[in-house]
Structure 1
Amino acid sequence: MKSKFYLFSALLLVVALLLSACSFSESTSNNNNNEAESPADSENEGTTDEEDSSPKVLRLNNGSEPGSLHPALAQGTHDSWILEHTFEGLTKKNAEGDIQPGMAKEWNTEDGVTWTFTLKDDVYWSNGDPVTAEDFEYAWKHVLNPATAAQYSYQLYYLKGAEAYNSAEEGADLAALEAEVGVNAVDSKTLEVTLAQPTPYFLDLTSFYTYYPVNKKVQEANKDWALEAETHVSNGPFYLADWKHKESIAIKKNDKYYEKDMIKLDEVQFVIIDDENTAWQMYQADELDLVYPLPQDVQGQLMASDDAEFHIGPDLAVYYFNINNTEKPFNNAKIRKALSLSIDRQTIVEHVAQGGQTPAYSIVPPGIPDVNGDYQENTGKLFEENVEEAKKLLAEGLEEEGLDKLPSFEYLYNTSEGHKAIAEAVQEMWRKNLGVETTLENVEFQVKLDSEQAGDYTVSRAGWVGDYVDPMTFLDLWVSDGPYNDARFKNSEYDKLISTAKSTLDQAERMEAMHAAEKILMDEMPIIPIYFYTKPYVLKPSVTGIYDPINSYPQFKYADIK
């Protein structure tokens, strides 16, 4: 995977992918209930009645094969982009990011601990079953069941008894622990939720995909229902119609959805492709209508030309490097800080990333309210680049570890020309500024995630998109026992501050604790922040109604094609 392709090989790849895209269009029209002609057939000029009635098909790219299309098991944006359009939680968000009724028509709480949600009457699964409160109770407890091994189970720890159930040791009375979890279907339309303590952002969480319902009957009849389109059942505006693994995915309008009259697209086709250049070429050839992400040099050119098809959406996300804190000599904070202080972030965002990103000198991105103002603006710079200081720290750290020089180490990243360009730039900065040698290893995205979870890496490229709009969605990643603490960072004072921020509704106290925790994180540097993301993408002028939530990929629920 480290070798470079020659031009001939690249051309063969492009041709193969184009042929795959053509095959994809034909197969989705032949294998599903609602027949659809290929996208090319719907682009004839003129205003005939036949064209007016032709299916509206949106074509876009997904950067990687989904790891899972089961809400309990999904982990990344390669999963969530599809889940956000095929499922719906108790709540959802509009284009402005405001919380709106989803499956629930109303909710109430008097103390911030006990919540009652009442489901709408006209909500159904794509197979025609009614969506019930029991489906929510079942789904949430399924996430928490230790046998499910859900990486995102910690997002439900806000429920009373949830952590005890999910963390139960072998031999524990699981049935008794499950009964204590604070979610209960009072009847088919009423869901009662009891939290362990008041949580300011709980309502926001109910729109997040780990909180989506699962059809209890389907799950109990077939535990593998989410692996194939033929057995997949969902409750959102679209349903999974076709899934050719590692090639393509098609979702179609769900006529059982309560707002079906607001859904204008008949079908959405994803080509699974991790090469941004090929996706961009397909867009230029009118074979894709939306492309995200883009090649970094293309982003720079489009920004400079003020192209009307180029859009930059906000993003609640940070690009950073994981460092395996348990691997010597990277257990030494001075060595980790030396690597961080020797990176020129401004050069990376201006000349490599080229998408309007901003250098990150902390971990929580802009866009989250503080008690007063913006949280990140109030944080400011928690460190600055300083090559001389980096050299000094490296020398001290190596002496403490009994080493003359830092051994060559491997940098892991998921296959992408953009990630590769950043890796090569940082590799050269480390070589030039510190005399440090690295090797680069690229793998599929899911392989990278699995390697990080297993601790089978030294340094890796990472990114995190906020699950909800609060600093906690970033900061609780690095508590000592956190399931996404891939850096294996442990600091008792940090854990205490995060616990404090989670246990009070006093916003001033919460924010003060989180600012203090973030300072510890940057002092210890278990991870290296590089920049705060933006969402640069291209969109055909014929497509309308796309919107950009701050913490999701571009949303096309209410999109239309003119």
Structure 2
Amino acid sequence: MKKRFSLLLVILLAASMILAACGDGKDNGDEGSGDSGKTEQYLRVNIKTEPFSLHPGLANDSTSGSVLRNTFEGLTRIGLNGEPENAMAEDIQVSEDGTVYTFTLRDAKWSNGDPVIAQDFEYAWKWALDPANESQYAYQLYYLKNGAAANEGKVSLDEVGVKAIDEKTLEVTLEQPTPYFLELTAFYTYLPVNSKIAEANPDWYKNAGEDYVSNGPFKMASWEHRTKIELVKNDQYWDKDNVKLEKIDMHMIDDENTELSMFQKGELDWAGAPFSALPTDAIPQLKKDGDLNIKPIAGVYWYKFNTEVEPFNNVKIRKAFSYAINRQAITDNILQAGQIPAMAAVPPSMFQENEDGYYKDNNLEEAKKLLQEGLEELGYKDVSELPTITISYNTSEAHQKIAQAIQDMWRKNLGVETELENEEWAVYIEKLHNGDFMIGRMGWLGDFNDPINFLELFREKDGGNNDTRWENAEFKQLLLDSQEERDPDVRMQMLKQAEEIFIDEMPVAPIYFYTNAWLQPDNLKDVAISGLGDVQLKWAYFE
């Protein structure tokens, strides 16, 4: 996921796993009523900031995803073993050619008691594809027959390959066979929406209340904007007997040091990724104390260039700025949690050779050469004539430190002065989507386990998450052709060729591949984090 992500986490992690007994031994306490000695099933985490949107069709970041994955449920869900399993779908049949899926829904209810019906999925998917709704993640539904054409206004939404045959049967027709489609149906853009509620109240998702209904293991009890979201166990959930937590508080504390302090005082039950982040200055001591958990994740942190704004409309200038970054210094001296310097776009877990990347880190000789050539092509005598270069980032200690380090590198290595600009997350991401930036930091965590997910962001110039406004016809065609290729080895080679084009044109400057770093109490069990870094609390409990 901007991933999304999104998008907000500084030290991100993963490996298909279930987080269990690791941490500082802080116990949640036996706080049951009377003398039963029963451990209270009440989890307190920090999601750092207000979610971008809690509408499944509008969400496009990891913070929103952390809430939606625990309050909603799709046709499938990523299980404890990291593989997709049946969720709202009780049975799934696939045609011989792999293009038609027939989902039979189980008996399930929304949190208000309404039945979950096939029309709720059809409504939600078509709503996200409707260009009037401006869903940043509409392209995730392009796998559906006519999905892209409908989103581009070329055909009617009625022609999209999703149809409720009856209340229990959903028929989905794809453009071409998609081996990872059952992973996609677990992703939040594919979640259902209560069509009856949404049609009656288009603003149903903006506040807690009787109209904010969900179909997952938890439901929203309250939403104090910019302060806290309170979730409680959903007594209407079909699998409620396997849900042990009774309450979850999701705080919005935009300061890593405060979060760590609250954890150490027993006021939070988790500190760090994937919900938030740990202060980078605390990492060495936490590692020394043996309290820190670190795991790799399929995610990349990069700087996006606005390729429609001078001087970053010039590929040589983009390359010069990227080559003049010392990534190893950033991972060793700022982050300190095992991150891998990134000179590629796709994580090494998908393309192993990307641990080395396409070019030399901190290649100052080539950077200076390219800078001079780029300046001449743009008609500048020297760097003093460049427009003011601004590095934008959302508020975070680590983002700030990285930006300051890169600002210093560009000053020393290229003689370029830059300004720093930070904004609160919701404001920041809106500015990026509107093209109101020159260089903007962002992270991307995989939405599903395939390299195309890191490349398809940039397939269309006006694609939902392509803030760079870059487009390349050959790159685009390789991605399209790869989706029709049946030979998996040939397909991977096509995606590798697409990545080579992407890196050669440098619309982003990759900085590092993520790890997650976090603290948790010993008695918190079965917090499930996939290899993509998304978190589920359905099975979590305090021992």
Per the TM superposition, whether the score is higher than 0.5 is: yes
Instruction: Please give the alpha-carbon distance, in whole angstroms, between the structure 2 residues aligned to 1:512 and 1:430.
Output: 35
Aligned twin of 2:330: 348
Alignment of 1:39-438 (within 5 A): 49-50=34-35, 52=37, 55-109=40-94, 110-121=96-107, 123-168=108-153, 177-230=156-209, 231-292=211-272, 293-307=277-291, 310-368=292-350, 375-377=351-353, 380-385=356-361, 386-406=363-383, 407=386, 408-438=388-418
Higher helix share: 1
Question: After superposition, what is the alpha-carbon deviation per residue over 1:73-128, rounded to whole angstroms, capped at 9, x for unaligned?
Answer: 1110110000000001000111331111110112121211111111112x111111
Aligned twin of 1:3: none
Q: Which amino acid aligns with 1:515?
A: K
Sequence identity, in percent? 47
- What is the SS of the residue equivalent to 2:504? helix
Question: After superposition, what is the alpha-carbon deviation per residue over 1:285-319, rounded to whole angstroms, capped at 9, x for unaligned?
Answer: 11100122111122232223322xx2223321100
Instruction: Please give the alpha-carbon distance, in whole angstroms, between the structure 2 residues aligned to 1:46 and 1:72.
Output: 39
Instruction: Please give the alpha-carbon distance, in whole angstroms, between the structure 2 residues aligned to 1:354 and 1:377.
Output: 23
Instruction: Please give the alpha-carbon distance, in whole angstroms, between the structure 1 residues aligned to 2:30 and 2:77.
Output: 37
Aligned twin of 1:15: none
Shift of 1:480: 3.2
| Change in 2 beyond 3 A, CA 1:162/1:47 | closer
Shift of 1:362: 0.4
Q: Which amino acid aligns with 1:56?
A: Q
Instruction: Please give the alpha-carbon distance, in whole angstroms, between the structure 2 residues aligned to 1:523 and 1:52.
Output: 62
Shift of 1:377: 2.7
Instruction: Please give the alpha-carbon distance, in whole angstroms, between the structure 2 residues aligned to 1:143 and 1:83.
Output: 15
For the 8 Å contact 2:102–2:170, the answer to whether it is kept is: yes
Question: After superposition, what is the alpha-carbon deviation per residue over 1:205-240, rounded to whole angstroms, capped at 9, x for unaligned?
Answer: 000000001111111111111111112100000001
Shift of 1:55: 4.3
For the 8 Å contact 1:199–1:505, the answer to whether it is kept is: no
| Change in 2 beyond 3 A, CA 1:353/1:43 | closer
Question: After superposition, what is the alpha-carbon deviation per residue over 1:156-207, rounded to whole angstroms, capped at 9, x for unaligned?
Answer: 11111222222116xxxx7xx1221111111111111111111222121000
- What is the SS of the residue equivalent to 2:539? coil
Shift of 1:47: 8.2
Shift of 1:483: 2.0
Aligned twin of 2:442: 462
Instruction: Please give the alpha-carbon distance, in whole angstroms, between the structure 2 residues aligned to 1:539 and 1:217.
Output: 40
Q: Which of residues 503, 524, 533 in structure 2 aligns to 1:543?
A: 524
For the 8 Å contact 1:314–1:549, the answer to whether it is kept is: no
For the 8 Å contact 1:115–1:194, the answer to whether it is kept is: yes
Instruction: Please give the alpha-carbon distance, in whole angstroms, between the structure 2 residues aligned to 1:511 and 1:88.
Output: 31
Instruction: Provide TM-score, normalisation by structure 2.
Output: 0.90
Of the structure 1 ranges 406-415 and 203-212, higher mean CA displacement relative to structure 2 is found in 406-415
For the 8 Å contact 1:329–1:401, the answer to whether it is kept is: yes
Instruction: Please give the alpha-carbon distance, in whole angstroms, between the structure 1 residues aligned to 2:331 and 2:296.
Output: 16
For the 8 Å contact 1:364–1:376, the answer to whether it is kept is: no
Shift of 1:366: 2.5
Instruction: Please give the alpha-carbon distance, in whole angstroms, between the structure 2 residues aligned to 1:147 and 1:166.
Output: 9
* Unpaired runs of at least 5, structure 1: 1-41, 369-374
Instruction: Please give the alpha-carbon distance, in whole angstroms, between the structure 2 residues aligned to 1:547 and 1:445.
Output: 26
Instruction: Provide TM-score, normalisation by structure 1.
Output: 0.87
Q: Which amino acid aligns with 1:404?
A: K
Task: Report the structure number with the largest CA radius of gyration.
Answer: 1
Aligned-residue Cα RMSD (Å) equals 1.7
Instruction: Please give the alpha-carbon distance, in whole angstroms, between the structure 1 residues aligned to 2:309 and 2:354.
Output: 34
The number of aligned residues is: 506
Shift of 1:379: 7.8
Q: Which of residues 475, 489, 496 in structure 2 aligns to 1:494?
A: 475
For the 8 Å contact 2:323–2:367, the answer to whether it is kept is: yes
| Change in 2 beyond 3 A, CA 1:46/1:148 | closer
Instruction: Please give the alpha-carbon distance, in whole angstroms, between the structure 1 residues aligned to 2:394 and 2:246.
Output: 33
- What is the SS of the residue equivalent to 2:536? coil
| Change in 2 beyond 3 A, CA 1:154/1:45 | closer
Which of the pair has the greater relative contact order for Cα pairs under 8 Å at 6+ separation? 2
Shift of 1:400: 1.3
Question: After superposition, what is the alpha-carbon deviation per residue over 1:134-162, rounded to whole angstroms, capped at 9, x for unaligned?
Answer: 11111111111222211111111111122
Shift of 1:543: 1.2
For the 8 Å contact 1:140–1:211, the answer to whether it is kept is: yes
| Change in 2 beyond 3 A, CA 1:47/1:70 | closer
Aligned twin of 1:553: 534
| Change in 2 beyond 3 A, CA 1:381/1:187 | same
Instruction: Please give the alpha-carbon distance, in whole angstroms, between the structure 1 residues aligned to 2:517 and 2:405.
Output: 21
Question: After superposition, what is the alpha-carbon deviation per residue over 1:52-80, rounded to whole angstroms, capped at 9, x for unaligned?
Answer: 45742100101210111110111101100
Instruction: Please give the alpha-carbon distance, in whole angstroms, between the structure 2 residues aligned to 1:535 and 1:223.
Output: 37
